[in-house]
A and B are shown apart, each in its own frame.
Chain A
Amino acid sequence: MTQSVVVQVGQCGNQIGCCFWDLALREHAAVNQKGIYDEAISSFFRNVDTRVVGDGGSISKGKICSLKARAVLIDMEEGVVNEILQGPLRDVFDNKQLITDISGSGNNWAVGHKVFGSLYQEQILEKLRKSAEHCDCLQCFFIIHSMGGGTGSGLGTFLLKVLEDEFPEVYRFVTSVYPSGEDDVITSPYNSILAMKELNEHADCVLPIDNQSLFDIISKIDLMVNSGKLGTTVKPKSLVTSSAEALKKQHQKPFDGMNNIVANLLLNLTSSARFEGSLNMDLNEISMNLVPFPQLHYLVSSLTPLYTLADVNIPTRRLDQMFSDAFSKDHQLIRADPKHSLYLACALMVRGNVQVSDLRRNIERLKPSLQFISWNQEGWKTSLCSVPPVGHSHSLLALANNTCVKPTFMELRERFMRLYKKKAHLHHYLQIEGMEESCFAEAVSSVSGLIEEYKQLDATLGTPVEDLPRLSVAV
């Protein structure tokens, strides 16, 4: 069993991270009835005897004493992290695993990446090494950040290079929140494009998310709950909402519900690695199967169900509905149109009482409406995990490597160019030591290269699938 470390950077990253830890604790509490520290829990938590001062407190087996998250929290202003440390999760985080500053990055990628990067490089390395030492077998770093701001975007991507150099064998999975069209941060296109270059070069796998999609999903859930549709009620214990009170308050904190969705994504992504099942899927298998070429590592994710079904004994029709939903745009965490683009690969990670025949039946059913690239016509990777998420009887996470991300990147580049042509706000960046106009040129060139690769693949859409001539051998 392997361990993963979560590195949450910036306001967005830390808020999502906080939701993640809350849900992870609840999931393990629901599954682990006996309070024994087992391998599943150890993937994200350490077991610590808090009476021991210093480092010696780790307990590897036996009863759960005090759980500490395998996390590093980084933010260049104190507000968010302080709130976490005063909130209900304060005991889950180790005080020594924080890096904070006071002034913030001013929504400036260059400040985050160059200034704070060099200022905190040593500390960052030290905390990461510490967290790695606590792991028996570290397999993956999960980085959570946003692309549009300064800290998450700049310092978050600075981290990637550090991780690649220091821990080359450990996977880097990045959950990136992309700015929506109506983003209120004017410089978000600059920050995002500058960050994209780093993601292209140093991430193993990126799960792009956008706030608009999350917001739409939450609105839909609210609609279902408020309309009181027969048979669909959100169970209070469900992990879609973080607590029953939040439900009643009608999401006073709008980001809470949205962050929970991303947190659910991470939980479901790792479920087959943590829990048993008849067809397991580890994190290294995600990269192996879904990344056919090193640059093309952007995966569109969709989660179902987002609201629970009233009864547990689901007749087959409802189960099939879950599969259909996973391929509907309403359940995606990023706005894109995979059905009208080309699939390079697709993974279905199922949790709960679903068997291989259900999987196969649905793949057969959905295949005709999806277009797969010629050399990967049966490009499906599947996994079955026996443990369902809390409050549901089953769930499905679909990860698709699809050319539908191309328009998102093109749009981002568009917005970037509109600012860049006028040199708007450029001086804020150029005045930072180490930043030159060439940085911008290189970044946009990197994104253009990526778009070009997707374009070439798209060009094969619609051409008939031909088998290539085989080797002929003498017998």
Chain B
Amino acid sequence: MSIVTVQLGQCGNQIGFEVFDALYNDSHCPQGLCSKRENEVYQESCKERFFSEEENGVPVARAVLVDMEPKVINQTLSKAAQSGQWKYGQHSCFCQKQGSGNNWAYGYSVHGPRHEEPIMNLIQKEVEKCDCLSGFFIIMSMAGGTGSGLGAFITQNLQDQYSNALKMNQIIWPYGTGEVIVQNYNSILTLSHLYRSSDALLVHENDAVHKICAKLMNIKQISFRDINQVLAHQLGSVFQPTYSMEGSYHYRRNPLGGFKDPELYTSWLAPVNAFSAWKTQRAFRKYEKSAALVSNSQFLLKPLDTIVGKAWNMFASKAYIHQYTKFGIEEEDFLDSFTLLEQVVASYCNV
């Protein structure tokens, strides 16, 4: 079963590259620290998921790269090609010239409808290459304009067009202290829209990953590359095959299967049901033992609450609103977003 990845904006594309790199390196790692047969079965199971085999045996990532300006995509494509081990499809990218200017409204209301057709066509082509589509993995940031605005638009489209396939959005929560000044506006608009159209939101906070780099990995001068690689490592270990019910040598066919219910685990649910543990003998990327924890908990309550609070304060002074109304996002749209997110916050609080 295969997953089609859609990488949006600078963040999405930079991370997407690291993810595919990590996945490739893991599945082609000769040393699985397990029996040879185990390794072979693992590799078999890896094969179809994220890469397709094409000309001269170089695996091609099942990905669509989207950005509204060309610099990052060009870099991403050439980095992949340079590795000599895997690459992106030649015609798998969609690029424009002007960028979205960190403006969610521009990404959603202008770029979205304008480029809907070619982007959905590209995705359709990737889907057709899959024997069996398990779902979509959309990588985007919340703070900017393309990843956030266009990402929300595309996710909605995927919901309409492929309602049976699972949509998982990898969203990057920006640093608390400014990468982008209007990041709180962009974030609340993104979250409120994704809530309606995505099946699962996998969240990574830049602040948290930064801390991992600093404290756990002791990197002195942390770059975005370091952060992205940690992220990719985490994602990779979540997505690689694990045993399905039948036990050893049988791997789960559907990598996204377990995420199907984003329900809250409440106190009256027996602990054994609340926790799905997937395991495999085979080591991930040369680590003897590794564990990846994906949880749906109140962990995100505080950051969410903070972002909503800051956005609300800014909204009350009407700062920057003219930049959004210019492109069709009115004050009511903001209010709708606030309302929805306050409800989410309240729901998490009541658990």
Chain A residues engaging chain B, CB cutoff 8 angstroms: 1-2, 39, 136-137, 139, 275-276, 278-280, 282, 284-285, 287-294, 344-345, 355-358, 360, 363-364, 367, 374-382, 384, 467-468, 470-473, 475
Contact = CB atoms under 8 A, between A and B. Distances in A.
Contacts of B290: none
Contact of B223 (A291, A292, A357, A377): A357
Given A2-B98, A471-B342, A475-B343, A378 B312 contact: no
30 contacts: A1-B71, A276-B75, A280-B10, A285-B102, A288-B145, A289-B180, A289-B181, A292-B320, A294-B322, A356-B222, A356-B223, A357-B221, A357-B222, A363-B177, A374-B317, A375-B313, A376-B319, A377-B310, A378-B177, A379-B181, A380-B178, A381-B102, A381-B179, A381-B181, A382-B178, A467-B309, A467-B313, A470-B309, A471-B339, A475-B347
Contacts of A290: 181
A356 B227 contact: yes
A279 B13 CA distance: 12
A375 B350 contact: no
B97 A1 contact: yes
A278 B181 contact: no
B89 interface: no
B259 interface: no
B15 to A, nearest CB: 12
Contacts of B180: 285, 289, 381
B101 interface: yes
- Among B14, B316, B350: residue with most chain A CB under 10 A: B316
Nearest to A466: B313
A468 B179 contact: no
A442 B110 CA distance: 37
Please name the 3 residue pairs, one residue from A and one from B, whose CB atoms are nearest each other, closest first.
A380-B178, A284-B101, A357-B222
Contacts of A475: 343, 346-347, 350
A1 B320 CA distance: 25
B323 interface: yes
Chain B contact-residue range equals 35 or more
Contacts of A139: 98
A355 B180 CA distance: 16
Contacts of B176: 378
A279 B174 CA distance: 12
B316 to A, nearest CB: 5
B346 to A, nearest CB: 5
A285 B103 CA distance: 8
A360 B177 contact: yes
Contacts of A467: 309, 313
Contact of A287 (B101, B179, B219): B101
Contacts of A358: 221
Given A289-B180, A473-B342, 13 more contacts: A2-B97, A137-B97, A280-B10, A280-B71, A285-B102, A355-B222, A357-B214, A360-B177, A374-B313, A381-B180, A471-B339, A472-B342, A475-B343
Contact of B102 (A289, A294, A356, A363): A289
Interface in B193-246: 210, 213-214, 219-225, 227
A392 B101 CA distance: 28
B228 to A, nearest CB: 9
- Among A278, A287, A291: residue with most chain B CB under 10 A: A278
B322 A279 contact: no
B210 A357 contact: yes
A42 B318 CA distance: 38
Interface in B289-314: 308-310, 312-314
Contact of A470 (B223, B227, B312): B312
Contacts of A471: 312, 338-339, 342
A292 B319 contact: yes
B97 A360 contact: no
B314 A376 contact: yes
Contacts of A278: 14, 223-225
B101 A288 contact: yes
A287 B99 CA distance: 13
Contacts of B71: 1, 39, 275-276, 280
B182 interface: yes
Contacts of A137: 97-98
B71 to A, nearest CB: 5
A292 B338 CA distance: 20
A468 B338 CA distance: 14
B175 interface: yes
A291 B343 CA distance: 31
Contacts of B210: 356-357, 360
Nearest to B316: A468
Nearest to A347: B181
Nearest to A364: B177
A463 B305 CA distance: 24
Nearest to B175: A360
Contacts of B343: 473, 475
Given A292-B319, A357-B222, A475-B350, A280 B72 contact: yes
A382 B312 contact: no
Nearest to B223: A355
Contacts of B220: 357
A439 B190 CA distance: 46
Interface string B166-197: 00000000011111111000000000000000
A38 to B, nearest CB: 10
B235 to A, nearest CB: 19
Nearest to B346: A475
Contacts of A345: 181
A279 B221 CA distance: 16
A288 B103 CA distance: 7
B309 to A, nearest CB: 6
Nearest to A319: B221
Contacts of A2: 69, 97-99
Contact of A288 (B75, B182, B219, B309): B182
Contact of B319 (A275, A375, A380): A375
Given A357-B210, A471-B342, A378 B319 contact: no
A395 B11 CA distance: 23
